[in-house]
A and B are shown apart, each in its own frame.
Chain A
Amino acid sequence: MDRDVFEALADPTRRAVVRRLAEGGPATATELAGDLPVSRQAVAKHLATLAEAGLVTSDRQGRETRFSFTPEPLADAVSWMADVGRQWDGRLKALSQYLETGEARPKRRKPGFASDR
């Protein structure tokens, strides 16, 4: 998984490809091009990008290559957003309280960490 999931899904056509694979199950590039308003060549390019991000895997059977949606990296991306959002909610609350009262927040350190410096 080298390519950024967010970057891969920033493109509306790639999102359409993912939606089609998630809803309709595995498909070939030709089938996808038939379902979506893009050329087979463009679909192949988008599939390669999605594969780099780990969102799509390919399975070759004879002359046919079928692509499937693999959602795991998406879950990672969503949990990143949820975790970072939660952290900011906590920080901004602490900042607001500090500006209001001038009181410092207790230090949250794990035992032994201070000695690492």
Chain B
Amino acid sequence: MTEFGVVRRSVVLPAPPEAVWAALTDAGHLSAWLGGDVELDACPGGQIAVQEGGRLRRGVIVDLEPLRRLEIRWLPASHRLGFVWGPDDGPAGSAGEVEFRLVALPGGRTTRLTIVERAPAGLPRPSALAVA
């Protein structure tokens, strides 16, 4: 059964876990494939800022297990004081969590990546959900 409030995706990527991990934790790689600007400090407690499609999100790396697991908690808007907000930067996506799990597949040339995004508490209204 689909878990309500949880979005889950699982894909097989054409690269070994080392390359997938780099794509997820290196700011240069992240910026390149996301088509946005990403800054991050890839360590537990490190901060992450993602500008994607004109929207800015800030988060904290809650947990990190190299080549296996990365968990980010998005910060609610109230934690972003002193930050310049983009035009679309509403409460959408400003809280909630996303988890990345990597599993090396036999042969070593591919990786299964599972992402799990959990809804923020107190869901944003649809008007705030406009996808850029």
Contacts and interface: CB of A to CB of B under 8 A. Distances in A.
Nearest to A98: B33
B54 A108 contact: yes
Given A98-B23, A105-B33, A106-B35, A88 B115 contact: yes
Contacts of A79: 126, 129
Contacts, number: 124
A4 B121 contact: yes
Interface in B1-56: 4-5, 7, 9, 11, 13-15, 19-20, 23, 29, 31-37, 51-54
Contact of B34 (A2, A5, A85, A105): A105
Interface stretch (A6-14, A21-29, A37-45, A59-67): A6-14
B91 to A, nearest CB: 12
A90 B89 CA distance: 20
Chain B interface size, under 10 / 10 to 19 / 20 to 34 / 35 or more = 35 or more
A35 interface: no
A94 interface: yes
A76 B13 contact: no
A108 B54 CA distance: 7
Given A85-B9, A109-B53, 6 more contacts: A7-B5, A91-B34, A95-B23, A99-B23, A105-B35, A108-B132
16 contacts: A2-B122, A4-B5, A4-B121, A5-B5, A77-B123, A79-B129, A89-B9, A92-B9, A92-B113, A92-B115, A98-B29, A98-B33, A99-B23, A99-B33, A109-B51, A117-B84
